[in-house]
Structures are given as structure tokens and as C-alpha cells.
Amino acid sequence: MLRISRPVLAAAFAAGLLAGCSSTKEDPTANWSPDRIYTEARDEATAGAFDKAVPLFEKLEGRAAGTPLAQQAQIEKAYAQYKAGEKEQAHATLDRFIRLHPTSPAIDYALYLKGLVNFNDNLGMFAWLSRQDLSERDQKAAKDSYESFHELTSRFPASRYAPDARQRMTYIVNSLAQYEVHVARYYYNRGAYVAAIARAQTALADYQGVPASQEALDILVNSYDKLGMNDLRDDAKRVREANFANAPDATKTTQKKGPWWKLW
């Protein structure tokens, strides 16, 4: 019987492991042309497999470096990351694109996508199920989103993405104003009338002409009344009657209305 020494067996086993590792790390796109990688990446994205599209776009960035196709891959990678729920990665990709390609014809789209990423972040995709108002949630993402949309509409007012960005900006402003009123309502319902007045005044001063203005004025009128500040109450009441004469007092409405923010 042929006997094999232990060192030989160990060497053969190690060689087998190395062969297995090398085969698992083999890049299936190694011999693909940039055009084929792009086609495959687009097909994955179209099919909704964004997690598979992202690494293909990344490979294309390297293979086609310095070409318009690499720029296209970068911006489409950002979209795929956004759709895959990779918010931070999408932001990093967009920031890098804007920094490296400031004269690109796709800058307006990059700004729009940057705003869109934050617009959908923690703004309540399924808020209508729980009847929770978007303004009751964290507002940092809304503010960041507004800044991106504002830059887009300021720099590229004729962009095809500008009309939608403006509509979303209006939504964000309404949401931020309603957030202040939400906090004011919280204080008012707990008898903290000075704090309620401060937040209602912020809503009225920073966000003029928004739907939340009526409730802000109602909170002012009633808070001043509770504190016995009659002159200020009457001043606020005159403003309220001049703008919302026929609307019921929002502080006395017991049934919560449906979300005001649902525009589309």
C-alpha cells in the first residue's frame, strides 16, 4: 500500500483550500466590456435588484474612469443606493459627484436626488396607516432636503426637476411649521402657556402663510387668555379674525383630522 507522509497531505490540503478560495473570489465581470457592465447594472436596477446593481456600477466607475460613462455610473449608483435604502452611501456618492463634476449636465439631477433621499427619510412613508402627522417626527432630514431642493431651484430654475422640487419645498415648509405648532399644542394641553406662546410665535414668524398659522393663532389667543394677558389676547384675536374668521377654534377640536400633508 502506498503511504503518503503527513507533510505531503498537509500541503495538498492547503493547496486545495487556496484553489477553493481563489475560485470563490473570481470576478465574473473580469472579461466584460464597460458597455456590458453598464447594461447588466441597468438590467438589475430595472428589475428592482438595486443591491446587485450597486457593485456593478462601482466596477464600471473603475473600468471606465475618466469617461462620461463613469460619471453616468456614479450618478446611477447613487440612485440604486437610495432605492436600496443605503441613505448614507447615496449621500456620499452624490457629494463626491457634485464635488468632482461641478460642470456636469447632471448636476441638477444630483441635487434633486440628494433632496429626494432626505425627503423620504423618516418622513413617514406609512404614516397614513397610523394617522400620524409627518410634522410630529424628526425634522432634520426635512431641513436637509429643503436645502438641496432650494439649491436646485436657485441654480437651475429651468431644470426639468425644478417644478417637483418646488412642490416638495412647499410641503417641507408646511411640515416644519406644523412641527412648531405640534410642540405648542403639547405645551398648551399641559398648561405650560408661556412655552406654548413661544412656539406658536416661532411658527408665525418663521413660516408665514402656511396652513398651520390658524392653529398657531388659536394657541396664542387662548394662552394669553389663560394667563390674563388681555391686551395681547385681543391683538392676536384681531389677526386671527382677519385671516380665519369662519374657521373653528383648533384648540377646541377634539377629533384629529386626517393628515394635511398628503399632497400626492
pTM listed for this prediction: 0.74
Among all chains, which residue has been given the C-alpha cell 389676547?
233
Query: Is the pLDDT confidence value at 132 over 70?
Result: no
Position 14 confidence tier, pLDDT thresholds 50, 70, 90: low
Position 24 confidence tier, pLDDT thresholds 50, 70, 90: low
The span from the CA of 22 to the CA of 9, in Å, is: 20
Check residue 53 and give left, alpha or beta (phi > 0: left; psi -120 to 50: alpha). Answer: alpha
pLDDT digits (tens, 9 = 90+) for 32-55: 999 999 999 999 999 999 999 999
pLDDT over 70, % of the chain: 79
The span from the CA of 261 to the CA of 264, in Å, is: 9
* pLDDT score at 125: 36
Question: Mean of the pLDDT values across residues 109-114?
Answer: 97
Tell me which DSSP letter residue 25 carries. Answer: T
Query: Is the pLDDT confidence value at 70 over 80?
Result: yes
pLDDT digits (tens, 9 = 90+) for 91-107: 999 999 999 999 999 99
Q: Residue 234 contacts by C-beta under 8 Å, 6 or more apart in sequence?
A: none
Distances (CA, A) of 56 to 50, 67, 252: 10, 16, 57
pLDDT digits (tens, 9 = 90+) for 157-215: 999 999 999 999 999 999 889 889 999 999 999 999 999 999 999 999 999 889 999 99
Q: Largest Cα–Cα distance in the chain?
A: 111
Position 131 confidence tier, pLDDT thresholds 50, 70, 90: very low
* Domain ranges (residues) in the chain: 33-98
Burial of 22 (0-12, 13-18, 19+ CB in 10 A): exposed
